[in-house]
Amino acid sequence: MFEPRTIIEPFRIKSVEPIRQTTREQRTEALRRAHYNLFQLRASDVLIDLLTDSGTGAMSSRQWAGMMMGDESYAGSDSWFRFRDAVHGITGLEHVIPTHQGRAAERILFGAVCNPGDIVPNNTHFDTTRANVEARGATALDIPIAEGREPATHHPFKGNMDLMALERVLADNPGRVPVVMMTVTNNSGGGQPVSLENLRGASAICRRHGVPIFLDACRFAENSWFIREREAGHASESPREIARAMFAEVDGATMSAKKDGMANIGGFLALNDSDLARRCRDNLILTEGFPTYGGLAGYDLEAIAVGLEEALDEDYLRYRVRSVAYLAERLAAAGIPMVTPPGGHALYIDAAAMLPHIAATSYPAWALSCALYVEGGIRSVEIGTVMFGQQPDGTERAAAMELVRLAFPRRVYTQSHVDYLAEVLLYVNDRKDRIGGYRIVNQPPALRHFSAELEPIGGDPATS
């Protein structure tokens, strides 16, 4: 019997969007105009956009068809009920509160439970999660396992939480931890999965201390796939069954539907505590919208209801995880250091290891992401000291890791795009000694990576 070895894109293309070739000179000029901040580029100046996998995916024909069914009634629309049933069907969580994206769910949750002086532990906070915790005057505490901070160490579940650290935080701070978060997959730690065993362990500790645990569930489908592939005893379970087992361990979840909701916008907060849900809904009405649309159009709710199911499709998940692993194999063969194993939605290059001649305070990951743009028109994102180094008191501290994330939009690029990416990365790697550091010339007081203005210390943004 024919046993195919090639994992193909499990879709055919019905609608195409041109991407624009530019010259190196044009890109150098565009980057200068953007003050050496890739967030400030015009997207049409980018050839392959791996800035984020958030809201950048291609929707399916079924999603577009669903959008035509959007019921735009202000209250109680059919689209709301389809959305609620899809979320409840997958998560089993009682109360579903739609939001315009993940950070709105975070703001509403932390706004309801966090007070100044509180501590919120997480395997690793994503930047908006951290900012929303800190905006309440609380401390966002990252407690990944040690392997999660070591890019080259191989571990099947590098997203896991350090359960001893969790036990200690809860024991030492009674009454000061309003909620524990678990981010699946652990985006800022390299897109790494959390095992069901670890989630169960964290959940048991939280229950013993009477503290609720919530999932940051943005990439729950990818996490389910990794559990199936890597954790003993789950190989014959469907991603949906595994997802249900994950949600069964928690009291609630925040979700950005721009990731595993396969939609361009949207999110939700889902939880079991009726009193907390009421308080969250009261707040939702003030800032997002009525509880049956939460800042979304009826057609958005439809797109998400369909997308959540499509994200759990086995052929899709196999292709998705394989695309990232394929790029990782090409780069590993050339000796390019990265977080191993590769993550579900993204590959993370270890810029500290690749560019040891640039100190963390001269932003090696930022420098590498600028070089990839100038040489190949690739937009990536720095996850390093520019993103995480700015402290609430205005000082700067080197981030734990200097990573460049190449995030894969869902169902957007094909294998030849990935081959091109590998070619650019190998070219830049051959010339890495010529890449210099950066300095910040202007920055806002928080979340500086979005708008900070920088300049290359040696005056050259790339490798020549």
Closer of 432 and 448 to ligand F0G (Cβ): 448
Closer of 34 and 358 to ligand F0G (Cβ): 34
As measured in angstroms, the least distance from the Cβ of 129 to ligand F0G is 5
Closer of 187 and 369 to ligand F0G (Cβ): 187
- Torsion angle of alpha carbons 182, 402, 43, 125, nearest 10°? 20
Task: Decide: 266 and 103 in contact? Cβ < 8 Å.
Answer: no
As measured in angstroms, the least distance from the Cβ of 407 to ligand F0G is 6
**Chain position whose Cβ is nearest to ligand F0G:** 102
Give the number of other CB atoms < 10 A from CB of residue 149: 15
165, 314, 338, 341, 383 from 329: Cα distances, Å: 34, 22, 11, 10, 21
- In terms of Cα–Cα distance, which of 347, 346, 372, 379 is closest to 427? 372
Closer of 36 and 348 to ligand F0G (Cβ): 348
As measured in angstroms, the least distance from the Cβ of 348 to ligand F0G is 12
Residue located via tokens 């590769």: 342
Task: Decide: 202 and 163 in contact? Cβ < 8 Å.
Answer: yes
As measured in angstroms, the least distance from the Cβ of 269 to ligand F0G is 12
As measured in angstroms, the least distance from the Cβ of 28 to ligand F0G is 25
Closer of 95 and 258 to ligand F0G (Cβ): 258
Within 92-177, residue ranges assigned H as helices are: 102-113, 127-135, 163-172
Task: Decide: 63 and 275 in contact? Cβ < 8 Å.
Answer: no
- How far apart are the C-alpha atoms of 256 and 217, rounded to whole Å? 8
As measured in angstroms, the least distance from the Cβ of 330 to ligand F0G is 23
Q: Which two tokens stand for residue 52?
A: 């984020």
CA 309 centroid distance within chain: 19
Closer of 39 and 427 to ligand F0G (Cβ): 39
As measured in angstroms, the least distance from the Cβ of 399 to ligand F0G is 16
Residue located via tokens 């890019």: 151
As measured in angstroms, the least distance from the Cβ of 285 to ligand F0G is 20
Task: Decide: 198 and 157 in contact? Cβ < 8 Å.
Answer: yes
Closer of 66 and 409 to ligand F0G (Cβ): 409
Closer of 60 and 192 to ligand F0G (Cβ): 192
Closer of 127 and 310 to ligand F0G (Cβ): 127
Closer of 129 and 139 to ligand F0G (Cβ): 129
As measured in angstroms, the least distance from the Cβ of 216 to ligand F0G is 5
Task: Decide: 408 and 58 in contact? Cβ < 8 Å.
Answer: no
**Chain residues that interact with ligand F0G, rule: CB under 6 A:** 52, 54, 101-103, 126, 128-129, 183, 187, 216, 218, 256, 258, 267
Residue located via tokens 């969250």: 280
As measured in angstroms, the least distance from the Cβ of 380 to ligand F0G is 11
- How far apart are the C-alpha atoms of 149 and 135, rounded to whole Å? 26
Closer of 139 and 223 to ligand F0G (Cβ): 223
Q: Which two tokens stand for residue 303?
A: 């797109």
**Torsion angles phi and psi, residue 340, rounded to 5:** -120, 145
- How far apart are the C-alpha atoms of 210 and 449, rounded to whole Å? 37
User: What is the Cα gyration radius of the chain?
Assistant: 21
Q: Check residue 250 and give left, alpha or beta (phi > 0: left; psi -120 to 50: alpha).
A: beta
- In terms of Cα–Cα distance, which of 438, 439, 430, 440 is closest to 464? 430
β-strand pairing of 378-379 with 438-442? unpaired
As measured in angstroms, the least distance from the Cβ of 23 to ligand F0G is 28
Residue 426 exposed, middle or buried by CB count within 10 Å (0-12, 13-18, 19+): middle
